[in-house]
């Protein structure tokens, strides 16, 4: 019903029978999935690995075959569990919630935490943490998903409140935008949290700071993911969650048919704000987390996914916002977008109407980033370099526009293919050394977008080396602060004058 908050529950299921079927299915399939992933991992070498003859012999000729035999023993049981999973999701689809939710237990006092006034500042973070099955992790030249998940959570919980000061409102000092520790973050948007064990490990670690967590997100069907992997989207919030929606993308390619790629949107309760007539209204915020198609090649499927994203978020807001009782403070979209603002091959995507409705703080204009912007996609073969493993050292490397090219991909991509996994920086043919080039170290694919015309303005932005070497992406964070009502009405008038053009542009993309 428009203006209402959608009913939610902690579990994906409304009653005990499907819960039991889900549990049995996981007990039957998870051991096989884990062992099979480790079997494949034995034959995927990363730059972190010791490659002596003895190590390789043990992996290839002893451990790998033994794990493979164990996987074959578990295969019949796993097949039965997978068939249960298919039947559960196929015949019970209409009664299955496409996510799990953690909330404080009643009586904890947490629910009243934000019943007071709406805060003046809000901080968001987006990070691709690549916590997927181990063999996929190793294909991306990372390793040990279970240890990394605990280490990533530990580093994410070490937040420095002293960083939560504006760094963009006056003269921009680039060294303040690159940090090795997190600011105090209100909402975390994570991608590639697909591993079943990693999901629960991350939830158990983060609930100390984030009582509201949306995880295990995905629609499982023949048409979305062949009942295999979820979306990997994960959202942790300090603020109560009022409503949630997940939209799986219909425009997908190759591996996208095995993953529930889409956009997760949550409505948050931010506290009370005064209305125009002095009445008390509820301030709400909308946060959307997405992960678009990687390696799209010449298909340009990401642009069509952005159209789906824009329409899904608009529809969710219209269905859940009650203008008589609520005030929208912000709408933020973040995630791993898999394209940048400067590469020639990404131009058809970066001119999408989404970037008229939502502003990218790091853009100077279409095709040009701010001078202080930093790329976020690592050169995967360099992840084991000693400099990358130390967040403080890596922070100083990123401040050097030439040196960063050794570790961050340049924004000169003509076509998105898996060759990016093995890319190396172009060097000066005369000297054989790295040189400063346009878009060098500037492939910025992890974005935080702020809707124009809302009741906030951008105050700070950060590029974070906190999880250096633990992921092939650089996390980004953004702080916004509320503006006064006069500014708000001016922004809304400007936004209203552009809305018809946005709709026409959207229709042209379809």
397 and 281, same structural domain?
yes
pLDDT of residue 107: 44
Helix (H) or strand (E) holding 246: strand 241-248
pLDDT band at 109 (very low <50, low <70, confident <90, very high): very low
- Does 495 have pLDDT greater than 60? no
Domain count, the chain: 2
On average, the pLDDT of the chain sits at: 92
Q: Work out the average pLDDT over 82-108.
A: 89
Q: Work out the average pLDDT over 42-70.
A: 96
CA–CA separation, 55 vs 65, rounded Å? 14
133 and 89, same structural domain?
no
Is residue 191, in this structure, part of any structural domain at all? yes
CA–CA separation, 494 vs 157, rounded Å? 39
pLDDT band at 491 (very low <50, low <70, confident <90, very high): low
CA–CA separation, 313 vs 357, rounded Å? 12
| DSSP-derived secondary structure letter, 352 | S
77 and 158, same structural domain?
no
pLDDT of residue 45: 96
- Does 5 have pLDDT greater than 60? no
Give the pLDDT confidence of 434-485 residue by residue, as tens digits. Answer: 988 889 999 999 999 999 999 999 999 999 999 999 999 999 999 999 997 6
Annotate 422-471 with DSSP letters as a single string: G------TTT-S----TTTT----EEEEEETTSSEEEEEEEEE-TTTTT-
| DSSP-derived secondary structure letter, 119 | P
CA–CA separation, 478 vs 126, rounded Å? 9
DSSP percent split of the chain into helix, strand, coil, nearest 5: 40, 25, 40
505 token code pair:
């542009």
CA–CA separation, 407 vs 115, rounded Å? 45
Q: Work out the average pLDDT over 209-213.
A: 97
198 and 137, same structural domain?
yes
| 3-class secondary-structure state, position 168 | coil
Is residue 1, in this structure, part of any structural domain at all? no
Is residue 8, in this structure, part of any structural domain at all? no
Give the pLDDT confidence of 113-131 residue by residue, as tens digits. Answer: 445 899 999 999 999 999 9
Is residue 348, in this structure, part of any structural domain at all? yes
Query: Could you tell me which of 327, 200, 208 has the C-alpha nearest to residue 268?
Result: 327
Q: Work out the average pLDDT over 179-206.
A: 95
pLDDT of residue 417: 93
299 and 169, same structural domain?
yes
| DSSP-derived secondary structure letter, 322 | -
126 and 85, same structural domain?
no
41 or 510, higher pLDDT: 41
pLDDT of residue 508: 54
Q: Work out the average pLDDT over 348-373.
A: 97
Is residue 106, in this structure, part of any structural domain at all? no
pLDDT of residue 464: 99
Is residue 109, in this structure, part of any structural domain at all? no
pLDDT of residue 430: 81
Residue after which a domain boundary falls, among 95, 111, 141 = 95
Give the pLDDT confidence of 212-242 residue by residue, as tens digits. Answer: 999 999 999 999 999 999 999 999 999 999 9
89 and 146, same structural domain?
no
Query: Could you tell me which of 124, 251, 260 has the C-alpha nearest to residue 194?
Result: 260
Query: Per the confidence metrics, is the pTM higher than 0.75?
Result: yes
Give the pLDDT confidence of 332-352 residue by residue, as tens digits. Answer: 999 999 999 999 999 999 999
Q: What domain range is 71 assigned to?
A: 16-95
- Does 366 have pLDDT greater than 80? yes
Query: Could you tell me if 241 and 88 are in contact, meaning their C-beta atoms sit under 8 angstroms apart?
Result: no
159 and 65, same structural domain?
no
Query: Could you tell me if 232 and 256 are in contact, meaning their C-beta atoms sit under 8 angstroms apart?
Result: no
CATH classification of the domain holding 371: 3.60.10.10
- Does 300 have pLDDT greater than 50? yes
pLDDT band at 509 (very low <50, low <70, confident <90, very high): low
From the list 34, 352, 378, 473, the catalytic residue is: 473
Residue after which a domain boundary falls, among 80, 95, 110 = 95
Q: Work out the average pLDDT over 23-51.
A: 96
Query: Could you tell me if 110 and 104 are in contact, meaning their C-beta atoms sit under 8 angstroms apart?
Result: yes
Question: How distant is the alpha carbon of residue 459 from its chain centre?
Answer: 21
pLDDT band at 488 (very low <50, low <70, confident <90, very high): low
Is residue 210, in this structure, part of any structural domain at all? yes
Is residue 10, in this structure, part of any structural domain at all? no
CA–CA separation, 48 vs 29, rounded Å? 29
Give the pLDDT confidence of 128-183 residue by residue, as tens digits. Answer: 999 999 999 999 999 999 999 999 999 999 999 999 999 998 889 888 999 999 99
Q: Work out the average pLDDT over 271-284.
A: 89
Beta sheet of 476-482, edge-to-edge order: 100-102, 212-215, 234-237, 187-193, 121-131, 476-482, 456-464, 178-179
Q: How far apart are the first and last CA of the chain?
A: 27
410 and 264, same structural domain?
yes
pLDDT band at 399 (very low <50, low <70, confident <90, very high): very high
58 and 147, same structural domain?
no
Query: Could you tell me if 209 and 238 are in contact, meaning their C-beta atoms sit under 8 angstroms apart?
Result: yes
Q: Is 473 a catalytic residue?
A: yes
228 and 91, same structural domain?
no
- Does 3 have pLDDT greater than 60? no
Burial class (CB within 10 angstroms; exposed 0-12, middle 13-18, buried 19+) of 483: middle
460 and 326, same structural domain?
yes
């Amino acid at each position: 019903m428009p203006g209402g908050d959608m009913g939610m529950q902690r579990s994906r299921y409304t009653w005990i029978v499907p819960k039991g079927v889900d549990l049995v299915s996981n007990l039957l399939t998870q051991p096989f999935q884990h062992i099979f992933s480790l079997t494949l991992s034995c034959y995927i070498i990363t730059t972190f690995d010791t490659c002596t003859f003895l190590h390789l012999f043990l992996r290839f000729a002893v451990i790998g075959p033994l794990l493979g035999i164990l996987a074959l023993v578990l295969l019949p049981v796993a097949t039965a569990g997978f068939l249960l999973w298919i039947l559960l999701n196929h015949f019970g689809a209409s009664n299955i919630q496409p996510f799990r939710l953690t909330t404080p237990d009643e009586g904890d006092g947490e629910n009243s935490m934000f019943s007071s006034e709406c805060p003046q500042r809000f901080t968001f973070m987006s990070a691709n943490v690549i916590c997927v099955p181990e063999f996929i992790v190793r294909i991306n030249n990372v390793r040990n998903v279970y240890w990394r998940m605990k280490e990533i959570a530990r580093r994410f919980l070490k937040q420095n409140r002293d960083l939560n000061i504006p760094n963009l409102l006056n003269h921009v000092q680039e060294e303040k935008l690159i940090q090795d520790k997190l600011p105090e973050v209100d909402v975390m948007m994570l991608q590639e949290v697909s591993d079943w064990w990693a999901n629960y490990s991350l939830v158990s670690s983060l609930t100390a700071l984030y009582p509201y967590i949306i995880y295990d997100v995905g629609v499982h069907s023949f048409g979305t993911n062949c009942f295999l992997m979820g979306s990997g989207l994960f959202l942790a919030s300090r603020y109560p969650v009022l409503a949630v929606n997940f939209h799986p993308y219909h425009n997908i390619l190759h591996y996208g048919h095995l993953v529930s790629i889409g956009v997760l949107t949550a409505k948050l309760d931010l506290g009370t704000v005064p209305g125009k007539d002095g009445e008390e209204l509820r301030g709400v915020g909308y946060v959307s987390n997405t992960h678009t198609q990687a390696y799209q090649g010449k298909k340009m499927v990401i642009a069509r996914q952005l159209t789906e994203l824009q329409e899904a978020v608009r529809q969710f807001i219209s269905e859940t916002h009650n203008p008589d009782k609520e005030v929208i403070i912000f709408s933020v979209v973040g995630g791993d977008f898999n394209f940048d603002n400067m590469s020639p091959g990404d131009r058809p995507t970066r001119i999408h109407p989404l970037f008229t409705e939502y502003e990218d703080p790091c853009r100077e204009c279409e095709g040009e980033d701010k001078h202080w912007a930093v790329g976020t996609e690592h050169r995967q073969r360099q992840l084991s370099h000693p400099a990358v493993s130390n967040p403080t050292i890596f922070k100083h490397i990123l401040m050097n526009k030439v040196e960063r090219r050794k570790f961050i991909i340049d924004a000169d991509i003509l076509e998105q293919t898996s060759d990016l996994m093995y890319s190396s920086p172009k060097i000066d043919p005369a000297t054989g050394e790295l040189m400063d080039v346009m878009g060098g170290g500037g492939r910025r694919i992890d974005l935080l977008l702020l809707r124009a015309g809302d009741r906030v303005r951008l105050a700070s932005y950060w590029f974070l080396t906190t999880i250096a070497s633990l992921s092939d992406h650089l996390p980004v964070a953004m702080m916004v602060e509320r503006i006064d009502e006069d500014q708000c009405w001016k922004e809304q008038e400007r936004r209203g004058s552009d809305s018809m053009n946005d709709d026409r542009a959207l229709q042209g993309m379809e």
